[in-house]
Structure 1
Amino acid sequence: MTSTMHQRAGTASGAPVTTFDIRTPETNQGRAGAREWIALAVLMLPVLLVAVDATVLSFALPSISQSLAPTGTQLLWMVDIYPLVLAGLLVSMGSLADRTGRRRLLLIGAVGFAAVSALAAYAPSAEWLIAARAALGFFGAMLMPATLSLLRNLFVDRQQRRLAIAIWAAGFSGGAALGPIVGGFLLEHYWWGSAFLMAVPVLVLLLILAPVFVPESKDPNPGAIDVVSIALSLLTMVPLVYAIKSIAHDGLSAAALGLVVLGLLAGSTFVRRQLTRANPMLDVRLFRRSAFTGAVLANLLAVFALVGFLFFVAQHLQLVLGYSPMESGLILLPGLLVTIIAGLAVVPLVRVLSPRIVVAGGLLISAAGYVAILFTADDPSAWGLGLAFMLLSLGIGAAETISNDVIVSSVPADKAGAASAISETAYELGAVLGTAVLGGILSAVYAAQVVVPAGLDAAAATSAGETLGGATAVAATLPEPAAAQLLESARHAFDSGVVFTAAIAVVLVLSAAALAWMTLRGKGAES
């Protein structure tokens, strides 16, 4: 194993910049000290922030609706534009970080994210907020690949790196689960803009500490920035993600098919371009490593299952069982703690068990969480949902830690940014698809089974027939017998949809477990 460190000219502040060039993933030398662990703590700030930001908005939507009076389409774009831009740019930003410096891009992203968060907090119109959410996706794409790829260079020792990645993964999944709790607290005490404004002090702290504790790293032999490849990656990701969300929400249409075709054509052109370039923006040959490909797909399907679960459990807790947003978040808090514990516990466990056993076993435990939903769907209680979430979190906490470790360890260190970007793209795609596909199926089953009372005006009938939240709002305007009938029908239709989506999720998670078992072996996964 060779590890070299090159001193380059100082930055504007006069501090030397160290470029790490680590040639193999395995070493017993160069164990990290206190400075590296402090750097990890600093890097957790943007991880937690971006993860919380991905889920906190949903709890602010009612207040935003009252304040900015957006149309239904604008409300959807407020939610969708952030993951669309984020997913579309992660690969490009990961490659850019490899070339220009991972810490440098992290700091640029932090400045931009903080500034735009402040603008979003005081948005005077729906259009302003949509534009701000798009900009947050742009700068958020700079933050995430940089954190994981920096860990790859900070922690050279394999066992220490596994622990660092376990903490990173726990922060990511924990941040997503913290979103409802943070959002519930802020919205019960402050105005909706506080959900955005919370980013500013966190990122100011990052900007102060990162230059001190986080060393710079980059690809020692970078190629030129490939603008054409960046454009092709955007033309691949954005149309495909938007088409999937559109099909899940509105059904198959000519426009959605056109977007799918556009995305696939751009994607194939992107792959051909990468294969012919001496220094590709994304080394697609990484996917020839079965361990790398299997870990990425296992990541995507695990997050798919987790986010799909959160989509319906949040609605059931609030709209069926009557808990507040903050109370709902607290019910799910044990699952968050289990995620963190499981992610840390598998670090010593994987020394005696192979990665494929840990990842596949974790996914099987997660499938058991959805099976529990199937058996209690007729009358799920808060305790039952909390226990099911704990099972799901236990498995995903273990699987995500090791799959992320396999992703960054199965590639050369100078490709860490690209590999990290692919891992993050899989995470974001899993989050988008979990909501779009499972949420879309749940909505379709609900719409097919709910019975809307006769005599409602068109707007009220549409609202009650599309979502459980709409039915709850409409029922509040009806006399008691009609309101009770509508709520009973809506809740029964919603629970039927939950059964259907839970069954699909079980199949998907079991498929992910089988995939992990078949692919996570050999040197790429075991080293």
Structure 2
Amino acid sequence: MTAPEGRAGRREWVGLAVLVLPCLLASMDMSVMFITLPSLAADLGPSGSEQLWIMDSYGFLLAGLLITMGTLGDRFGRRRVLLAGAAAFGVTSVLAACSTSPGTLIAARMLLGIAGATLAPSTLSLIRSTFHDAAQRATAVGIWTAGFAGGAVLGPIIGGLLLEHFWWGSVFLINVPVMVLLLVLGPLLLTEHRDPEPGRFDLPGAAMSLVAVLSVIYGIKSTAEHGFGWIPLACCVAGLAVGAAFLLRQHRAASPMIDTRLFRSRRFTVPLLIDALATFGLVGFSLFNWQFMQLVLGMGALESALWSLPTFLVMPLGIALATAAAPRVGKHNVVAAGLLVATAGYVLLALLRAGSGIVHLVGGMAVVSIGVGAVSAVVTEVILSAAPPQRAGAASALAETSAEFGGALGIAILGSVGTAVYRSELAATAPGGLTSDVLEAAKSTLGGAVETAATLPKGTADSLRDAAFDAFAQEARIASMVSAVLMAGAAVLIATLLRTTHTRTGPVATPAAAEHQDAGGAGKPSSRTASHR
């Protein structure tokens, strides 16, 4: 079957399915640890600090290297970098599964993060290079978005099913056959694309981007886990300073990793901000979502993971509606509508009480998921289209980095605000007669309150649990309200700032883009960027 000129055919759509698989696994490897940690902790015996590194080292390295790996794809070939990363991801997955100590597992998780950083920007930039038709590209980006989001939901479910029958290392070994499949099918279905004139690779710039991202995300996550302190604050300030120096270097460089002229366009910068805000609420509220199901409603890890499945299943609905509506009513209107739908979901969650059932929680999260799905699919496509094709890898990396920062900020800010609310509420409503040590343990976290209640006489224990559940419900309501205000504000922002810009697909008119258009036309590869096998 031959597709019309400029439109993707069957080969490209099958190739898209191949591109979605590694992204699904990359996001699964972030969420699967929530359910796997107790099993591996019992086997390997890591300390508290080592457990945090097992959880966070993967995400730290992945986020810190997205920009570098996206640039390497532009320079050396996006398919080549993707396949190299897939091979490394498969090998390091085996190393993680065979780890016999916390140190070796941490090292394997760090290597997994390095390999995983190649997957998202390479796959997304290959979509930009493969799907030249605007409508088809929007659909392809929507499918990619659903796959990436689905991995985060499917991780605990698949992990729970595997742990029912196998040891904890099996959650890593499922990566291997998928990566082997990618290595076999990738060369057959994916065409190579690269920047024909990449210039010299900026090694100091790559190091600066890594230090900047790692420092800020470490500071944010440390604040979320331990509260405000001088060390996390110093990390954030240092990271921002290095990030500013990195952008200044890119502005002056003859062959920059990031074309800073892109940031002059609202069509590029506003979608980046919106993507971060949408992820802020979704990831930040997940803290309360999981605790409510497991601690307040008393569900097990696998049962709570299964109840989160409807949230993922409705996301394609939002993506499909947004993709279909964008050409008719304008992308900025669709994004604004998606943000308002997410706002309605958070308002529903703001009505949550300790006695609310699972349907209330899942229903509210499903509405949020529909809205965020619509937003993410459209803004990601807008970010890709706004950048010239030869910079697709760097643009993809920026999109993913903004989402990573949004999620980290959501966990830190909503977690910190929520903790303050919880402690204040429980201090005011806890039953009398508790010692200061018992009360402090209960005020630390909801999990601490449940564990503390188990050591008390029944009447006092029931009263403490009820007070803790009510305080946590208030914490979740405040987080929902904050998220609702942010989503509503973001809707106003995008309706105001992008209302007068063009919504058609096409790269921002930077000199690089203009040169590309002169060579072969906007939206299609020129003779210098012709695909080759």
Structure 1 length as normaliser, TM-score? 0.90
The 3 A distance-change label for structure 1 pair 235 and 180 is same
Q: Is the 8 A contact 1:29 1:156 kept in 2?
A: no
Q: Is the 8 A contact 2:86 2:119 kept in 1?
A: yes
Deviations 1:265-317 (A, max 9, x none): 21111111111112101112111110111111111111111112222111111
The alpha-carbon deviation at position 77 of structure 1 amounts to: 2.0
Query: Among residues 111, 121, 124, which one is paired with 2:100 in the alignment?
Result: 124
Equivalence map 1:487-502=2 (5 Å):
487-502=465-480
Q: State the AA in 1 paired with 2:201.
A: I
The alpha-carbon deviation at position 378 of structure 1 amounts to: 4.6
Residue 78, structure 1, aligned to residue 54, structure 2:
yes
The alpha-carbon deviation at position 457 of structure 1 amounts to: 10
Equivalence map 1:72-471=2 (5 Å):
72-450=48-426, 464-471=442-449
The alpha-carbon deviation at position 263 of structure 1 amounts to: 1.1
Deviates more, 1:272-281 or 1:341-350: 341-350
Match of 2:462 in 1: 484
- 2: CA distance, partners of 1:376 / 1:210: 47
Match of 2:521 in 1: none
- 1: CA distance, partners of 2:233 / 2:211: 14
Deviations 1:189-212 (A, max 9, x none): 322222222211111111111111
Deviates more, 1:245-254 or 1:81-90: 245-254
Deviations 1:496-515 (A, max 9, x none): 21112111111221222222
Q: Is the 8 A contact 1:406 1:524 kept in 2?
A: no
Query: Among residues 495, 504, 508, which one is paired with 1:526 in the alignment?
Result: 504
The alpha-carbon deviation at position 74 of structure 1 amounts to: 1.9
Match of 2:513 in 1: none
- 1: CA distance, partners of 2:125 / 2:501: 20
The alpha-carbon deviation at position 188 of structure 1 amounts to: 2.8
Q: Is the 8 A contact 2:70 2:397 kept in 1?
A: yes
Q: State the AA in 1 paired with 2:261.
A: R
The alpha-carbon deviation at position 517 of structure 1 amounts to: 1.6
The alpha-carbon deviation at position 433 of structure 1 amounts to: 2.1
Q: State the AA in 2 paired with 1:191.
A: W
- 1: CA distance, partners of 2:52 / 2:45: 13
- 2: CA distance, partners of 1:388 / 1:477: 34
Match of 2:483 in 1: 505
- 1: CA distance, partners of 2:421 / 2:48: 21
Match of 2:518 in 1: none
Structure 2 unmatched ranges of 5 or more = 506-533
The 3 A distance-change label for structure 1 pair 429 and 208 is same
Match of 2:522 in 1: none
Q: State the AA in 2 paired with 1:111.
A: A
Match of 2:8 in 1: 32
The alpha-carbon deviation at position 172 of structure 1 amounts to: 1.2
The alpha-carbon deviation at position 72 of structure 1 amounts to: 2.0
* Percent identity (aligned): 44
The alpha-carbon deviation at position 522 of structure 1 amounts to: 5.2
Q: SS where residue 118 of structure 2 aligns?
A: helix
- 1: CA distance, partners of 2:95 / 2:441: 32
The 3 A distance-change label for structure 1 pair 483 and 124 is farther
Match of 2:36 in 1: 60
- 1: CA distance, partners of 2:96 / 2:373: 32
The alpha-carbon deviation at position 521 of structure 1 amounts to: 4.4
The 3 A distance-change label for structure 1 pair 422 and 319 is same
The 3 A distance-change label for structure 1 pair 116 and 256 is same
Deviates more, 1:498-507 or 1:154-163: 498-507
Q: Is the 8 A contact 1:292 1:524 kept in 2?
A: no
- 1: CA distance, partners of 2:76 / 2:311: 39
Q: State the AA in 2 paired with 1:516.
A: I
* Backbone CA RMSD of aligned residues: 2.0
- 1: CA distance, partners of 2:163 / 2:401: 30
The 3 A distance-change label for structure 1 pair 468 and 364 is same
Q: Is the 8 A contact 2:352 2:473 kept in 1?
A: no
- 2: CA distance, partners of 1:524 / 1:120: 48
The alpha-carbon deviation at position 475 of structure 1 amounts to: 3.2
Q: State the AA in 2 paired with 1:341.
A: L
The alpha-carbon deviation at position 471 of structure 1 amounts to: 2.7
Match of 2:519 in 1: none
Deviates more, 1:188-197 or 1:149-158: 188-197
The alpha-carbon deviation at position 29 of structure 1 amounts to: 4.1
The 3 A distance-change label for structure 1 pair 204 and 305 is same
- 1: CA distance, partners of 2:167 / 2:451: 22
- 1: CA distance, partners of 2:110 / 2:441: 27
Q: Is the 8 A contact 1:31 1:157 kept in 2?
A: yes
Match of 1:5 in 2: none
